[in-house]
Chain A
Amino acid sequence: MTRFFQVAWLVMRKDLRVESRSWEMVSTTLFFAASTVLVFAFAFVRAGRAVDGAAPGILWIALAFSGTLALGRAFERERHQDALRGLLMAPVERSAIYCGKLMGIVLLMGAAELLVVLAVALTFQAPLLRHPFYLTALLATGTVGFAAVGTLFAAMLLRTQSRGVLLPIILYPVTFPVLIAGVGGTVALVQADPNLELVRFWVALLCFFDAVFLVLSLWTFEPVMTE
């Protein structure tokens, strides 16, 4: 078990180290996330006032879009000089490689989330930071669920043609439940009279989703990557 986490940690460290040389992915993903929020601001702010109730949806859409972008780019790196094949040939459990990549993606999406939450709270005057603990729980469980499926699909599509457009096509329908739960929880959190019990329900549901999707992804990674 420790070996599993050691390998995952090594893979994540490798990704972080490569990223730290150029900060390309982090900076471009963050900028994209900010741009997305701005696009929604132009769409939904009328006469200087934000449309009511749009903030939770925009938050999660911005996360979904920047997450998809980050996933595509994270694995694009592995295509150069057949890096992925080298990684897969290593005498380690393949699901540990998956776990390492997943942790890297979650970190990147987390960074984007920080920016998006602040941007949405500012541009839409939404009281997102009223219950930071609950918001963090929602975002964390939602991100893990989205990234768990996304990492698997992005890895699967690495050697596929049309992978750029196929990733969102196959990712979004499967992760709609996560997005619905996330938005539902955020709505319950920012409404005038926050319904914390409902938020807890959604967080619990997200945990359940995460458990199911993580287990399925861990199991599916090995047979799918043998091609």
Chain B
Amino acid sequence: MNQRMFVVVGAAAVLMFAFAPLMIAWAPYESTMGLVQKVFYFHVPAWFVMFLAIFVSGIASAVHLAKDRPAADRLALSAAELATLFGAIGLITGPLWARKSWGVWWQWDARLTMAIILELIFVAYLLLRKYGGAGSDKLAAGLALFGMANVPFLYISVNVWRTIHPRTSVVPTLGPGMFGAFWWCVVAFLLLFVVVVAARTRLEEQRARVDDLHLALEDY
């Protein structure tokens, strides 16, 4: 991603996030859950971005495993870090919402269970990369691939198993005020993801350059 695109997308993300609180405040109240339901506008987009990050990491890992491309590996690492970050955001905003609307901080239903499993998988990915020593890039790539394979089970689980979590059919049935605010936030989060993953990947590229420079110095 070149400099100009980065600035454009970054500016767009900043603007959307600046406007988001207004859109959220204007959105109508939900009848049973009231004010606290407004967490939904950040909670769900955070999960969308986490899923996206998991898929990006999984696919980049598959490419790295198949074709041995360091660029794919750097992207996989950045996406995995973001998956952990946005997963943590989802896992913290969720219980804050749940405490009010369900009365409990946590419930072991299917979707929540799978959510925490995915978060753990990508935390394990980061631990493996950090402490695994040499060659851990390929090993972690294998792990990310398995993490990605678990995602469809997560999505189907809500519709197959009975659960108190709002079913996935809630999103298409949103009323006009909520619909706008929700999709505004989704786009804002997606733009944020693109910007941050680009920045993080660039950091990894620069780190690789440092390694190359060290090696070049040693050659003398």
A and B, direct touch (CB closer than 8 Å): yes
Chain A positions near chain B (C-beta within 8 angstroms): 149, 152-153, 156-157, 159-162, 166, 169-170, 172-174, 176-177, 180, 212-213, 216, 220, 223-224, 226-227
B206 within 8 A of A: no
Chain B, residue nearest A163 (CB) = B132
With A156-B142, A169-B127, A174-B121: A180-B113 Cβ-Cβ less than 8 Å: yes
Q: Given A152-B142, A174-B150, A220-B142, are A160 and B132 neighbors across the interface (CB < 8 Å)? A: yes
Q: Give B contacts to A, CB under 8 Å.
A: 65-66, 68, 113-114, 117, 120-121, 124-125, 127-128, 131-133, 135-136, 138-139, 141-143, 145-147, 149-150, 153
**A201, closest chain B residue (CB):** B160
Interchain CB contact under 8 A, B136 and A160: yes
Which one of B68, B117, B139, B146 contacts A216 once the chains associate, using CB atoms below 8 Å? B146
Task: Give every chain A residue within 8 A of B142 (Cβ-Cβ).
Answer: 152-153, 156, 220, 224
> Could you name 26 residue pairs across A and B whose Cβ atoms are closer than 8 Å?
A153-B142, A156-B138, A156-B139, A157-B132, A160-B136, A161-B131, A162-B132, A166-B132, A170-B128, A173-B120, A173-B121, A173-B124, A174-B146, A174-B150, A176-B117, A177-B150, A180-B113, A213-B146, A216-B146, A220-B65, A223-B66, A223-B68, A224-B65, A224-B139, A227-B135, A227-B138
Question: B66 touching A174 by the CB < 8 A rule?
Answer: no
Contact of A166 among B127, B145, B150, B153 (CB under 8 A): B127
* Residues in B neighbouring A152, C-beta threshold 8 A: 142
Set of chain A residues within 8 Å of B145, measured between Cβ atoms: 216, 220
The total number of A-B Cβ pairs within 8 Å is 73
Chain A contact residues, majority secondary structure: helix
Residues of B contacting A220 with CB < 8 Å? 65, 142, 145
Whether B139 and A160, one on each chain, are in contact in the complex, defined by CB atoms closer than 8 angstroms, is yes
